[in-house]
Every structure is written in C-alpha cells, then in structure tokens.
Structure 1
Amino acid sequence: MRHLIVNSSQLLMMNGPDRARHGKEMQPVGLVREGAVLIDEGKIIAAGLPDLVQGHELAQDARLLDAGGRVILPGFVDSHTHPVFAGPRLKDFEARLKGKTYADIADEGGGILSTVNGVRGASLNALTESLRERAGRFIECGTTTIEAKSGYGLDVENELKMLRAIKAVNEAGPLELIATFLGAHAVPGEMKHDREGYIRRVCEEMLPAVAKEKLASFVDAFCEKGFFSVEETKRIFEAAAKAGLKPKIHAEQLSRSGSVPMSVTAGALSADHLECIDDADLPQLAKGGIVSCLVPGSNYFLAKPYPPARRLIDAGAAVALATDFNPGTCPCWDMSMILSIACTQMKMTPEEALVAATINGAAALGLEKTHGTIEPGKTADLVCYEAEDYRELPYWFGAPQVAWTMKRGVMVHSRREYRL
C-alpha cells in the first residue's frame, strides 16, 4: 500500500549520518514545517518539503493521509526492556515505600528471584499472551521497536521459554522485538552457593542452546557487586562471541565496578544505566563506539539519583533513552514519560531527548541504517502526536498524546478519525 502523509505541523526527520549521534550532534532534529512523507511497501520513498514530496512520480496515486497539523516523528526505539514476566512485584513496591532496601527485599524472597519463580511457574502460552498485551501498550505509546531481554528464567528451560515468547510476539507483530539473552541477570537461588557452576552453565549450556535456536541477537549481563564481576562478565561475553551474540551490558548502575573499559574492548553496542561512572569513563564512552543508554524511569520509580546525562553529552558521548520496562523497578512503557523525566531531571534538551529515543536507540540495537529516522530507504515506522510543536512531547506528561502509530507503513494504532 502506498501512502502520502501531508499537512503535518512539524516533521522531525532526524536525518543525518547512519550512526549514533554524539554530543552536539544530538541537537538537530531535522525539522521540516508542514513536511510530507511518501511511503510504499513499508519503506519511506521521499520525505521533507511538501512540494517536493507531492511532486514525486509515485505520489500521484498514493492514498492520502492528512496529519491535521500535528507533529510526526520516527517511531520510538526502546533499546532496554524486560517485558516477559508473570505479574507485578507489588509487595516489593510496598516494602520500598516502607523503607526496605533492595537487599532487604531480596533477603525476604522478593526482587529478581521472585519474578524468576513466577516465570518458572508460567506456561509458554501464558507468557506469550501477557507479552502480546504489553506489546500493544508500547504501540499505543508510539514505540515501534523494542529490545526485549530474558533473564527471569535463570536455567536452560526457562530462559529458552522466555526467548520463545519474544520470538512468537515478534513474528505476530506489529511491535518489533529484538531479543537479548540475559542469563547473567542473577544467580538463581538453587545455585547461590555455586556461582562458578552457574557461570559455566550460562557459557556452556544456555548460550549454545540459545544460538542453536537463533533466539537472540544480543547477550547482556548485570555487571554489579553481588551479581557478576567484570571478569565474570568478560568470560560470558567471550562465550557469547563464539555463539554469534553481540554484547550489551548493565554497567555502573548501583556501584562503581570499572566495567566500561571491558565493555568497549568487548565491542558492546551499549552500556546501560551508568549512574556511577566517573570522569575517567567519559572519553571511552565518547570515542569507544558504544552507546550510553540511560533509563531514568527506574531512577524515578526508585527515587534514586539520575545518571549524568549532561556530563556524557558534553563529553561527546552518544546517549540513548529507554524505558527499562520491568515489573520491579520501572513498570512504564511510555517513552514520552521518559522524555519528560530526561528533560526535567537530567537537563537534556527536548531535541537531545528525541534523538536519544529514536536514532540513538536504533544504534544501540545495530539498527541505525534501517530505523530511527524518516529518510528514503528507511523502514516506515512513524508516530503522529496530538501536538503542534515537538517540545510538547516532554512538556505534557502523564496523558496519552499519540494520534496514530505506523509500523512498516501500516497503521497499527489510531484514533477512529485517522483510520485508513
């Protein structure tokens, strides 16, 4: 199906180099007033000034979509989520409000391991159906692609079950899910006295099984005191490389571990969280070919200090924003809420935040050549907002603003008056 989208108030093309945008490069958003977009067979054919786009030879018989004077931008790419689980962690939430620490909650049977118990007790069908419902929520909020981690199974059978659920929902669409194997999320309770045995299991059993079924593109590890050390994470990444999986990492989240140099050397696409980095990390994050993925929704929910977005951007790093959607520390799938937190709490500009949630999110998943901008040849993933100015996206928070969402040129969510 061929579509011609016209009459936007602002078209944010995010056009530029097909790579992550660093430092000052995060300011331009490629704004075209009253911009138009021509789409054919799920790809963008032309975009920009209305006269030029409407004059394209393929525009003559395209189906017209009037944006009604609203903002159009690329669909959000949420590059860090944990969306497969069996239920919320309400007891953890209440305990935290009463002053319990993360360690206290874990000692009482809560935290990650409580979600592990839920996932282990759930069927593949139940996990798939709950994930399918959550996928619809992302679409409703203008997100068209997410990274989806495992990590709540912590044994071969249940990690594979999570990844199979991700595969099933991705194949059904419309949300695109990029799978990450996170077996190194925590040591399961039954192996708490045999961490070395669990690491061997991750490297020698889980990774080969994941690779055999081609269930994941990436590997991740929670590199943190009490979880996995830098050396242990390095071993896991080396085993993952043999299995054909590229690394991503939970880095410097709760304490200073010194994981950034190892992450850069290992070729990690992104280092995520980064609350506890120091100045020595900044040059490597700026020049090491790695995306700094910040997830301020979790800091908001936990009432913890935010990562140093301004220091990273001013040092020349490529910053991405993601929700960190998960049942324990960030039950939020709305990227516009993350934009608002990034601007108000981390002092990112609206332009930087939008770049971070689109093209830089795509780069954190190796998708920068196909996703994250509105340019000819790119996948036609678009979102139209009930706004006349893009700065309204982080300004109005806590209320739905999406008029419609398009995935691969198909309207997958809309209010009735926009249906094609």
Structure 2
Amino acid sequence: MAKGSKLLVHNIGNLITLEKLVSERRHIKITAEDLSLKKNAWLAIESGKVLASGEGAIPEAYTSFPSFDAKQKMVTPGLVDSHTHPIFGGDRTHEFAARLDGKTYQDIAKAGGGIKYSIRTTREASTADLLDRCLGLLKTFLRHGVTTVEAKTGYGQNAQEEIRCLEVLQTADQQVPQTLSITCLGLHDIPTDFPDKATFVKHMTEELLPEVKKRNLAHWVDAFVENGYFSVEDVKPYFEKAKELGLPIRLHADEFAPSGAAEAAALWGAASADHMQKASDEGIEALAKAGGVAVMLPATSFYTKIPYADASRFRSKDCPVAVASDFNPGSCYLSNLPFVASLSALYCGLSPYEAFVAVTFNAAKALKLEGSKGALSPGHDADFVIHGLNTLEQWIADFGQTDPLHVFCAGEPAL
C-alpha cells in the first residue's frame, strides 16, 4: 500500500484484533477475552498499517476513506506459519505409501529416502524449477489465509547449494505479497559426499555461515538436533559461529527422543524450539525463562502417526506456544494452517483461543515479528483475512475446509 493510501473495512460481523495481548505484551494464559473481539465493527488502515478499529458507528475521521464491505463476515489478523520447508526438488509421496505399509521415518531414511532423497533431487533441480514450485506453494499458503511465512532451506546441504536455495527464497520474497522470514537450515542431514559428520559441520560453519551474513541471505540459522542426525555437541560450533556473526537462532528439537535440544535452545537464546514432543520439563522451563517459543507441529504427527506434543506441559511452565504446518516434501505434505490449528486443539489440548493465537500473535513472536505481525492493533501491518465463516468457533470446527473470501497484505488485496 502506497504511503498515505487509506482503506476502511466496514460491516464486519466479528473482528478479532488481539489488542489486549499486544498492549500487555503477553503470550501465555490465553483466554476468550484476549481475542479483543469487536462486533458490528470497522477497521481503518493507512499506509499499510492499522490505524484504528471499533464497533458501531464509524467516526467522521474515517468516513471519507475508500471502503470495503466485509458483509458481516469474520475478520482476523493474517495467519503466520512459523515453520515451513517450501524449497525442494523431487517427489517423496511414495514415502507416505511406505509408512502405510508399516515403515517408520527412520526406516525410510536408512533406506536412502527421507531428507537425503530430497538433497539429491534438490541439487538436480534447476533454479527456475525450484523457484516455480516455491512460488506455487506460497500461493497455496496464501489461499489458506497465511500472510507471513517462515521459509527454510535444508535440502542443499553444502555451502553452494544452500546459498542457491537462499537466493531462490530471496527472489520469491520479491514476487509474493506475503512477508517471508528466511531460515538457513544448514544442518539438516549429512549428505553422502562428506566423509563424516564433523567434516560436514566444519564446512557449513566455515564456508556457509560467513557468506550468509556477508550477503544478508537469511534472517535465521537452524539445525535438526535429534538422535540419529545431529546432537547438541555436534551443532555447538555451528551455533557458536552463528552467534559470533550475529545470526539469530532457531532449531528443530526433541521430536523423537529427549536430546537436550530444548535446554540448548535456551542457552543459545533461540527464538524458538520446534517439534518438542519429547522435550524434558527442565528444557521447557528453561526455554520459557529465556523468552523462547515452543512451536508445536501437529500435522507431522498426523501425517506420520507419531505422538503429538502435549500443550499442558508448556502451559504449566508458562512457555509460549505457537503452531506451524511444518510443510515439507516427506513427513508432512500438508499446507493448510487452519487445519493444523484445529489439529492442535483436538490432539494437543489447546483451547480454540490458544490455537488461534498460536497461529497469529505467538507465531509472530516465534519470528520476533510480534511488533508488526499477528494482530490488528494500531501500528501493526494491515495483514488481515475476511473469512467465509462468521465466528472463531466455526473456524476451529471447520478444519480449514472453508477458504477465506479475501486476504489482504499491508492493506492491499492479495487474494
């Protein structure tokens, strides 16, 4: 939206702003009151930012704004997907069939599938093909109301290929209406062209990270800290280098077994620790005290039939919770974030209000964007969704079946 441009969205049946959470800078103890719900409402926008909102009669100051009729539908902040893998080559849908035949994630990986398969096929893919697929996926996310996307690399797995993938994400960022938060997932799995893990970690630490910093290619650095992949000790030099370079950290943590990753995330000042089904109570408490967010990924549990994260464990430690899709080519080929939010309520134990905040304001916090994304408070970016539904109760019960009627990014129609 051009500077000085104005918009008034009126005739809103239910407007969820989350202003109370913004004003209190609070991400825990979420209740219905925290939705800051306004009925028969209006929303005023200027220069791509929320200017004001209210109920009933529209103040004279805004009546001259160009207007958009919400037709009594629900309007909410745009959704924030804080964990996705949208850049890859190849097709791993055959792995889903293998799991139906009884194979586990680990079985498939040992047979040469999984992440290693995606590394091979991503390296073989042309840059144009990688970009085309990524743009198509981002458009799919947008159709589900997602206006901010964390986008990881992780299938190049040498400095040259990871940089190529980061460049593709940078290009995509210029071509889509959404905001991308780009993550360099430099340690995802050990490719076959390195003799051992230590050599690979050294290469990514010394050859990749300085170039990422020099060229400002990513907002985040990530690693897959999990038994069978990388231990806390394995990734220590990588994350120490990231901190030395001033590259913020997030990480995959404790999905299959307690590995100490949640505790390490707190020690390294990570913005988030993601998966977390098997995190220790001590790790959850440490992450909360360090200001981090636990990002639950229930669609991966749904897709691979592994245990779900238990929200009560995070709630009891006052640890903020976000929910993300974990869209990826193998273990979670699901891009519908509203569906994932409903899963988090049904299987992880979030209330409808917690689930909604987990894919908006708390997801924004996981990306350190809570000052501009995930709410419709004055000064926040005017990223919002006009839903085909009327209430939050309908939205959580719908499991992502009803597409939004309209999606706006920075006050401009995006869908």
Separation in structure 2 between the aligned mates of residue 172 and residue 90 of structure 1, nearest angstrom: 28
Separation in structure 2 between the aligned mates of residue 315 and residue 69 of structure 1, nearest angstrom: 39
- What is the 5 A alignment of 1:233-244? 233-244=235-246
Counterpart check, 1:187 vs 2:190: yes
Q: TM-score, normalised by structure 2?
A: 0.95
On the 8 A contact 1:6/1:50 being kept in 2, the answer is no
User: Corresponding residue for 1:4?
Assistant: 8
Query: Could you say if the C-alpha distance between residues 70 and 314 of structure 1 is closer, same or farther in structure 2, counting changes exceeding 3 Å?
Result: farther
On the 8 A contact 2:44/2:52 being kept in 1, the answer is yes
Separation in structure 1 between the aligned mates of residue 56 and residue 247 of structure 2, nearest angstrom: 43
User: Corresponding residue for 1:366?
Assistant: 368
1:22-68 deviation line (CA, Å, top 9, x unaligned): 431365211111221101121111113243xx2152x1321111111
Q: 2:225 aligns to what SS in structure 1?
A: coil
Shift, 1:291, TM fit: 0.5
- What is the 5 A alignment of 1:306-385? 306-385=308-387
Shift, 1:287, TM fit: 2.3
1:357-378 deviation line (CA, Å, top 9, x unaligned): 0011101001011111101111
Query: Could you say if the C-alpha distance between residues 261 and 214 of structure 1 is closer, same or farther in structure 2, counting changes exceeding 3 Å?
Result: same
1:135 to 133, 138, 155: 138
Shift, 1:103, TM fit: 2.3
User: Corresponding residue for 1:200?
Assistant: 202
On the 8 A contact 1:23/1:315 being kept in 2, the answer is no
Aligned sequence identity (%): 34
Query: Could you say if the C-alpha distance between residues 291 and 398 of structure 1 is closer, same or farther in structure 2, counting changes exceeding 3 Å?
Result: closer
User: Corresponding residue for 1:230?
Assistant: 232
Counterpart check, 1:25 vs 2:30: yes
Counterpart check, 1:39 vs 2:45: yes
**233-242 or 355-364, which moves further after superposition?**
233-242
User: Corresponding residue for 2:276?
Assistant: 274
Separation in structure 1 between the aligned mates of residue 12 and residue 322 of structure 2, nearest angstrom: 26
2:163 to 150, 160, 163: 160
Q: 1:11 aligns to what SS in structure 2?
A: strand
Shift, 1:20, TM fit: 6.4
Separation in structure 1 between the aligned mates of residue 25 and residue 307 of structure 2, nearest angstrom: 26
On the 8 A contact 2:284/2:317 being kept in 1, the answer is yes
Q: Structure 2: any 5+ residue segments left out of the alignment?
A: none
On the 8 A contact 2:341/2:356 being kept in 1, the answer is yes
User: Corresponding residue for 1:418?
Assistant: none
2:118 to 115, 119, 137: 115
Separation in structure 1 between the aligned mates of residue 73 and residue 215 of structure 2, nearest angstrom: 43
Shift, 1:16, TM fit: 3.0
Query: Could you say if the C-alpha distance between residues 318 and 46 of structure 1 is closer, same or farther in structure 2, counting changes exceeding 3 Å?
Result: same
User: Corresponding residue for 2:20?
Assistant: 16
User: Corresponding residue for 2:65?
Assistant: 62
Q: 1:135 aligns to what SS in structure 2?
A: helix
Counterpart check, 1:126 vs 2:132: no
1:62-103 deviation line (CA, Å, top 9, x unaligned): 111111111111000110000101233122111111111222
Query: Could you say if the C-alpha distance between residues 394 and 9 of structure 1 is closer, same or farther in structure 2, counting changes exceeding 3 Å?
Result: same
Q: 1:340 aligns to what SS in structure 2?
A: helix
The code of the aligned residue for 1:147 comes to: E
- What is the 5 A alignment of 1:286-325? 286-325=288-327
On the 8 A contact 2:166/2:184 being kept in 1, the answer is yes
Aligned length: 409
Separation in structure 2 between the aligned mates of residue 194 and residue 335 of structure 1, nearest angstrom: 37
- What is the 5 A alignment of 1:79-90? 79-90=82-93
Q: Which runs of 4+ in 1 moved over 4 A?
A: 17-20
Shift, 1:393, TM fit: 1.1
1:395-416 deviation line (CA, Å, top 9, x unaligned): 0125233111000101110xxx
CA RMSD of aligned residues (A): 1.5
Query: Could you say if the C-alpha distance between residues 22 and 200 of structure 1 is closer, same or farther in structure 2, counting changes exceeding 3 Å?
Result: same
Q: 1:179 aligns to what SS in structure 2?
A: strand
1:278-298 deviation line (CA, Å, top 9, x unaligned): 322332233220011111010
1:403 to 397, 402, 405: 405
**35-44 or 142-151, which moves further after superposition?**
35-44
Separation in structure 2 between the aligned mates of residue 72 and residue 404 of structure 1, nearest angstrom: 10
Separation in structure 2 between the aligned mates of residue 196 and residue 315 of structure 1, nearest angstrom: 35
On the 8 A contact 2:253/2:274 being kept in 1, the answer is yes
Q: 1:32 aligns to what SS in structure 2?
A: strand
User: Corresponding residue for 1:394?
Assistant: 396
1:280-324 deviation line (CA, Å, top 9, x unaligned): 233223322001111101000001110011221233110001000
